Amino acid sequence: MNRRPVDIAFSPSVKAAQQRKGSRGAYAAMEMGNTIDPNLAAFIAQVRSFYLATASADGQPYIQHRGGPPGFLHVLGERALAFADFKGNRQFISTGNLAENPKAFIFLMDYAHRQRVKIWGSARVVESDAELERRLMPEGYRARAEQVILFDVEAWDANCPQHIPQMFHADDVQQAIEQRDGRIALLEQEIATLRSTQ
């Protein structure tokens, strides 16, 4: 029997919990995506950060933040993502976990638009591939690639904005302020011109 994408997230234990707590009926016919459609690709292209979850062979979970300029998380195909893994604190917990347990999870959050996307799959680390690192490195970004992480998508879901606080990236706020200030300056100039002709 082929597993549906939703069955990856909704294991028998999850379904039992849903049944016990009264939500199973609402989720029984739910479907999730298993390929990256144009809407998801556009969402991913704007991402400035995400969380990568892995677990050790004995199930000890670990979540690592990854950040960079928009577009640093690349869509390589309808079921493949990749990113240059920038040199950081060199603990290599995610790297070690993926060496013994390829199951992984990506959590994407867009606070400005109060949207979140969850992606289940498996991942692997690619080391010493300078050409792939070069291809995935954001242009002009001040970081060094330690390695590359390739992520195979098995299922994904975008869910409700409930309880997501609305927050904005500092660069976006600065741009909005500069646009507002520029508009104010133009209006003040127009007012000064009108006053001088009276």
Separation of alpha carbons 35 and 77, rounded Å? 9
DSSP single-letter state for residue 153: E
Separation of alpha carbons 100 and 103, rounded Å? 9
**Closest Cα to residue 150, out of 106, 110, 92, 189?**
106
Q: Report which residue type is found at 145.
A: A
Q: What is the pLDDT of residue 2?
A: 62
Say if CB 147 and CB 127 are below 8 A apart.
yes
Q: Report which residue type is found at 154.
A: E
**Closest Cα to residue 66, out of 169, 139, 168, 143?**
143
C-alpha distance across the termini of the chain, in Å: 83
Say if CB 124 and CB 150 are below 8 A apart.
yes
DSSP single-letter state for residue 165: P
Q: What is the pLDDT of residue 30?
A: 78
Q: pLDDT 10s per residue in the chain (198 long)?
A: 466 778 888 888 988 998 899 888 888 877 788 899 999 999 999 999 999 999 999 999 999 999 999 999 999 999 999 999 998 888 889 999 999 999 999 999 887 778 889 999 999 999 989 999 999 999 988 899 899 999 999 999 887 777 767 777 778 778 888 899 889 988 888 888 888 887
Say if CB 151 and CB 86 are below 8 A apart.
no
Using a 10 angstrom Cβ sphere, with 0-12 exposed, 13-18 middle and 19 or more buried, the burial of residue 132 is: middle
Pairing outcome for strands 145-159 and 80-86: antiparallel
3 state SS of 112? coil
Separation of alpha carbons 136 and 151, rounded Å? 13
